[in-house]
């Protein structure tokens, strides 16, 4: 029996059940302890999230009237510059509203209000004590990720946690070294229609609740690398959405993606879970090519990762020109400042395809048409 609408609460518990079963089937003390902690924190998050959503129903009922018009989604294979571009475009605060990492834990109007109140108290009464504490926590918890994916409670971030709380994100598999065993949350577009509808009902509700308090007169700007597997569902739910797609050379993106999501465990080369993460990266490339053909030209723009790194300001101006947006003087000034800072950016790591059970010849045999489309060198 359902007690709530999917827009209020939805979780695909069958995936949680599979995670628990697989954890105990392949018993390992470290994995077992991680699973206990993960399940405790996940249910705690569910409880707090329900509390904030209930507060919305009491104090922010008008979120139901919000219309999400022409949202902008930055999509790419993981490790392809989406975070960099998202944070550049987020500098246009007059045009866009976007989630910070803290928001993504509880994407509700009530939590955004709570966030603003605490920020105000911190600035006016506590002289920045809370901000300094959060910055210290950022350094402690996320400092090691700065050269991989800079994270922080106050940084612009993707909204993938919304899907994670539904168990419909591959991100929930990071603590578990058996990614090759569970497949139901990799491609939403390939799941049953009822599941797709429920997931998108909940996601749209989260976006509406967030936008209602964070900027209902602004355009919702999101980046999400896992949305490649939700291309179809996203466009069906937001048919006027604008999509920015970034393409990076598969020889770099695929192993970088697999390395990032298997870092918790020192898995041996050729491990099935490592190969499964790499295979997902390959499958994302294939599916993105299929879906890119279905989006109207005036709603879609392709970019190359190397062009973004070489001239970030020029790429952002290209985006604005393509979508007929007029940048404000304040935004141009902020963008120029950030452009100057980004000139010192260097890639910190190089990864080998062979670590994940692939060769360049195999990647080219699967993705040769895409590599030729973007003029990526096959290098063998």
Is residue 80 situated within a structural domain? yes
Q: Name which of 172, 195, 155, 162 is nearest 52 in CA terms.
A: 162
pLDDT digits over 95-137, tens only? 999 998 888 999 999 999 988 887 788 677 866 676 666 666 5
Please spell the DSSP secondary structure of 285-313, one letter per residue: HHHHHHHHTTS-GGGEEEEEHHHHHH-HH
Across the range 127-153, mean pLDDT stands at 54
Is residue 36 situated within a structural domain? yes
Say what angle helices 13-25 and 29-59 make with each other, to 10 degrees.
Answer: 160
Across the range 44-64, mean pLDDT stands at 95
Is residue 240 situated within a structural domain? yes
**Binning pLDDT at 50, 70 and 90, where does residue 4 land?**
confident
Distance CA 234, CA 227 (A): 8
Looking at every residue in the chain, the average pLDDT score rounds to: 87
Percent of the chain with pLDDT over 90: 61
Is residue 3 situated within a structural domain? no
Q: How many domains does the chain have?
A: 1
Structure confidence at residue 245 (pLDDT) = 97
Structure confidence at residue 122 (pLDDT) = 67
Structure confidence at residue 141 (pLDDT) = 47
User: Range with the lowest mean pLDDT among 9-13, 19-23, 165-169, 323-327?
Assistant: 19-23
Owning domain of residue 316: 13-373
Structure confidence at residue 298 (pLDDT) = 94
Is residue 1 situated within a structural domain? no
pLDDT digits over 289-332, tens only? 999 889 999 999 999 999 999 999 999 999 999 999 999 999 99
Q: What is the 3-state secondary structure (H, E, C) of 31-79?
A: HHHHHHHHHHHHHHHHHHHHHHHHHHHHHCHHHHHCCCCCCEEEEECCC
Helix H or strand E encompassing 271:
none
Distance CA 319, CA 80 (A): 17
**Binning pLDDT at 50, 70 and 90, where does residue 26 land?**
confident
Indicate whether 142 pLDDT > 50: no
Across the range 219-223, mean pLDDT stands at 96
Distance CA 203, CA 193 (A): 15
Cβ neighbors of 125 (< 8 A, separation 6 or more) are none
The Cα angle at residue 41 between residues 37 and 43, in degrees rounded to 5: 120
Is residue 104 situated within a structural domain? yes
- How far is C-alpha 213 from the chain's CA centre? 21
Indicate whether 347 pLDDT > 60: no
Helix H or strand E encompassing 126:
none
pTM: 0.90
Q: Name which of 24, 70, 73 is nearest 178 in CA terms.
A: 24
Say what angle helices 329-342 and 82-89 make with each other, to 10 degrees.
Answer: 150
Distance CA 163, CA 178 (A): 20
Across the range 186-202, mean pLDDT stands at 97
Is residue 236 situated within a structural domain? yes
Distance CA 330, CA 323 (A): 19
**Binning pLDDT at 50, 70 and 90, where does residue 143 land?**
very low
HSE of 276, CA atoms in CB hemisphere, 13 A: 18
What are the b/e assignments for 320-355, b being 16+ CB within 10 Å? bebeeeebeeebbebbeebeeebeeeeeeeebebeb
The domain that contains 304 carries what CATH number? 3.40.50.300
Across the range 178-202, mean pLDDT stands at 95
Is residue 229 situated within a structural domain? yes
């Amino acid at each position: 029996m359902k007690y709530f609408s999917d827009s209020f609460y939805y979780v695909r518990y069958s995936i949680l059940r599979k995670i628990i079963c697989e954890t105990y089937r392949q018993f390992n003390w470290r994995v077992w302890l991680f699973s206990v902690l993960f399940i405790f924190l996940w249910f705690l998050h569910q409880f707090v999230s329900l509390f904030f959503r209930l507060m919305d129903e009491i104090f922010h009922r008008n979120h139901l009237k919000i219309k999400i018009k022409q949202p902008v989604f930055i999509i790419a294979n993981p490790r392809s510059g989406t975070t960099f571009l998202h944070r550049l475009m987020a500098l246009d605060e007059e045009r866009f509203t976007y989630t910070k990492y803290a928001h993504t834990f509880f994407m509700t109007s009530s939590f955004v209000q709570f966030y603003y109140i605490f920020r105000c108290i911190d600035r006016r009464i506590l002289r920045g004590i809370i901000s300094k504490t959060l910055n210290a926590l950022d350094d402690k918890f996320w400092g090691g990720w700065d050269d991989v994916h800079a994270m922080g409670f106050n940084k612009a971030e993707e909204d993938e946690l919304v899907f994670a709380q539904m168990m419909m994100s591959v991100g929930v598999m990071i603590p578990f070294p058996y990614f090759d065993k569970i497949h139901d949350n990799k491609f939403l577009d390939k799941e049953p229609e009822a599941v797709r509808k429920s997931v998108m009902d909940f996601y749209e509700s989260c976006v509406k609740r967030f936008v209602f308090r964070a900027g209902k007169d602004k355009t919702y700007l999101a980046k999400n690398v896992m949305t490649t597997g939700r291309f179809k569902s996203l466009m069906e739910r937001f048919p006027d959405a604008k999509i920015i797609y970034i393409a990076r050379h598969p020889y770099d993106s695929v192993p970088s993606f697999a390395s990032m999501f298997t870092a918790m465990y020192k898995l041996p080369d050729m491990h099935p879970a490592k190969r499964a993460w790499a295979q997902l990266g390959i499958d994302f490339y294939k599916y993105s090519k299929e879906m890119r053909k279905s989006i109207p030209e005036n709603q879609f723009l392709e970019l190359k990762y190397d062009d973004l790194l070489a001239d970030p300001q020029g790429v952002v101006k290209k985006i604005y020109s393509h979508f007929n947006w007029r940048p404000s003087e304040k935004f141009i000034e902020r963008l120029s400042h950030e452009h100057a800072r980004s000139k010192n950016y260097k890639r910190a790591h190089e990864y080998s395809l062979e670590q994940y059970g692939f060769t360049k010849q195999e990647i080219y045999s699967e993705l040769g048409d895409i590599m030729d489309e973007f003029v990526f060198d096959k290098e063998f």
